[in-house]
Amino acid sequence: MTIRRLGMPWAAPGDRTYSLPNSLIVKLALGEAPDAAPALADVRRGAAAAAASIDGGPVDRIVTRYAGGVRACRLHAAARSAGALGRGRQGFDEVEQLTGVARTFVLQAPTGTSIGALVDSLAQVTTVESASPNYVCVTPYEASPRGDPMGEDAWAARLMVRAAEALAYEPGDPAVMVGLVDSGVAPDHPELSGRLRAGYDTVQLGGDDVAPGIILMGDHRRDDSNPVDLWVGHGMGCAGVMSALGLGMPPGLAGQSQIIPMRALGAAKLPGKPIPVGLGAIADLDAAVKRAVDLGAKVINMSFGSDDAALAPSSPKPHADVVRYALERGCILVAASGNNGADTRYWPAAYPGVIAVGAVGADRHACAFSTRGDHVALCAPGERVLTAGLTGYQSATGTSFAAPFVAGAAALLAARAARRAVPIDGAIVAELLTRTAQPFAGGPAPGCGAGILDAAAALAALDAFIDAALPEEERADDG
């Protein structure tokens, strides 16, 4: 999920994760953020101009020394002002301030700036809480068109997680929304008819942002409400697992829940790779996660990540603040564990409070490519999964497609809890999913979590959990 072997003269020595050559992310200490700095979305829409000054003090002096100057914007708009053109910088609440999302800035520097040296110097300033390159993650995956979507193996993955029983027990609720932070969707695909809410596109990549040899494709310069994917299909694969109607493939596990599609991964061709991949800057991904939360997502699926082992040792871990923000807002966060087969950590999957999902094959053994670790909660099918493509259907492989099985189950749990007028959060969902997980074939799989998703058992366990606190006459019947 990282780009390797590309020259980065602007980066810090030892940094092995690709970062944008002209961009960095800076979080100021509480109380130090300038009120006048505009929100990035307002600048992109032409409703405000980027700030040329940050603090009028040490930060500006360091920026002048290393870059000559920058264009600075708040990465996030305030939740209460996101829809007010030109006023995104106004109205940040206590949660936004304390989690840091109100104090985070994207700085655009001139070409030739030593981003690594600038970041290191800024990190020494007492009014700067953190500084980081604007890293890029990539979501390569194996997929092939599927001409016979309802072949005899079409139901294998859904049978494994007991999807039909789960959907019969709880059909889902359109009021439960799932934020899909990914490469976008094909909104006219028949399988998603009526299942998509209005979404957003946060991709903001230009030719100067990528190394020679990387070819950007499609829309990569507009911040808008049109999260359409024309090239990659990664987001559609995830969407099909969660929300397909079941016309030419098994129904999605999230049932009647609605998807909020957030396009944060642009399309790109890498050197020597003929198949486009999803390419996402950390700033664009974080902006998409926060907006999904502010749009009312109860569950967020994050099938992307950055390998901790490839980050500079001094760099802050990506996505920490938006993860904290989403958890504070009561969201259930699900992330793919990674596809390198090693015992390591990918962010955001490794954060406490995020349900990290590995992959199993049809034989119920953990897939060799599935990233392992004590943070992995459980596994779901992730090998040759039948799902929706940009057109028609595809068979997709990777932990990217295991995660939406768990996100779909989480949406059903949220729907069931709402049906019974009981609040539910990510900690409860994680406990139910892991406690009811099915065993791996051949016994425990170290680093792969509690077992394999059992969506029907998790729903029954939720009812039992609720019933335990209710008088007998108010308890659930047979479901």
Model pLDDT, residue 334: 98
Average pLDDT over the chain, rounded to an integer: 92
142 touches 375 (CB < 8 A)? no
Model pLDDT, residue 479: 45
Q: What's the DSSP call for residue 53?
A: -
Residues 279 and 235: their CA atoms lie apart, in Å, by: 12
Region 225-237 average pLDDT: 92
Going by DSSP bridges, is the β-strand pair 393-397/385-388 parallel, antiparallel, or unpaired?
A: antiparallel
**pLDDT tens figures, 235-263:** 999 999 999 999 999 999 999 999 999 99
**pLDDT tens figures, 331-358:** 999 999 999 999 999 999 999 999 999 9
User: Which phi and psi (to 5°) does residue 169 adopt?
Assistant: -75, -40
58-65 contacts at long range (C-beta below 8 A, 24 or more positions apart): 58/125, 58/127, 59/26, 59/28, 59/122, 59/125, 59/127, 59/128, 62/118, 62/121, 62/122, 62/125, 63/107, 63/109, 63/118, 63/122, 65/121
Share of the chain above pLDDT 90, in %: 77
Residue 190 has pLDDT above 90, yes or no: yes
Region 194-223 average pLDDT: 80
Q: Calculate Rg over the CA atoms of the chain.
A: 22
**Whose CA is closest to 231, among 190, 181, 265, 260?**
265
Region 14-42 average pLDDT: 91
Residues 22 and 8: their CA atoms lie apart, in Å, by: 11
Report the range of poorest mean pLDDT among 438-442, 456-460, 468-472.
468-472
**pLDDT tens figures, 52-103:** 999 999 999 999 999 999 999 999 999 999 778 899 999 999 999 999 999 9
**pLDDT tens figures, 375-389:** 999 999 999 999 999
Q: What is the third-level CATH fold of 140-463?
A: Rossmann fold (3.40.50)
Residue 113 has pLDDT above 50, yes or no: yes
Model pLDDT, residue 11: 85
As a whole number of Å, the end-to-end CA separation of the chain is: 41
Model pLDDT, residue 472: 75
Residue 141 has pLDDT above 90, yes or no: no
Residues 197 and 176: their CA atoms lie apart, in Å, by: 11
Kind plus residue range of the DSSP H or E element containing 434: helix 426-435
Model pLDDT, residue 98: 97
Residue 136 has pLDDT above 80, yes or no: yes
Tell me: cis bond preceding 348? Omega within 30 of 0 counts: yes
Report the range of poorest mean pLDDT among 219-228, 230-239, 446-455.
219-228
Q: What's the DSSP call for residue 265?
A: -
Kind plus residue range of the DSSP H or E element containing 400: helix 399-419
The ranges assigned to domains in the chain are 19-134, 140-463
Is residue 16 very low, low, confident or very high in pLDDT (cuts 50, 70, 90)?
A: confident
Residue 46 has pLDDT above 60, yes or no: yes
For tokens 């960095």, name the residue.
24
Residues 45 and 235: their CA atoms lie apart, in Å, by: 25
Distances (CA, A) of 289 to 104, 128, 180, 293: 14, 23, 9, 6
Going by DSSP bridges, is the β-strand pair 266-269/215-217 parallel, antiparallel, or unpaired?
A: antiparallel
* Tokens read off for 63: 């920026």
User: Which phi and psi (to 5°) does residue 160 adopt?
Assistant: -60, -40
Query: In 142-253, where do the E strands start and end?
Result: 142-145, 177-182, 200-201, 215-217
Model pLDDT, residue 152: 64
Is residue 277 very low, low, confident or very high in pLDDT (cuts 50, 70, 90)?
A: confident
- Cβ neighbours for 124, distance < 8 A, ≥ 6 positions apart: none
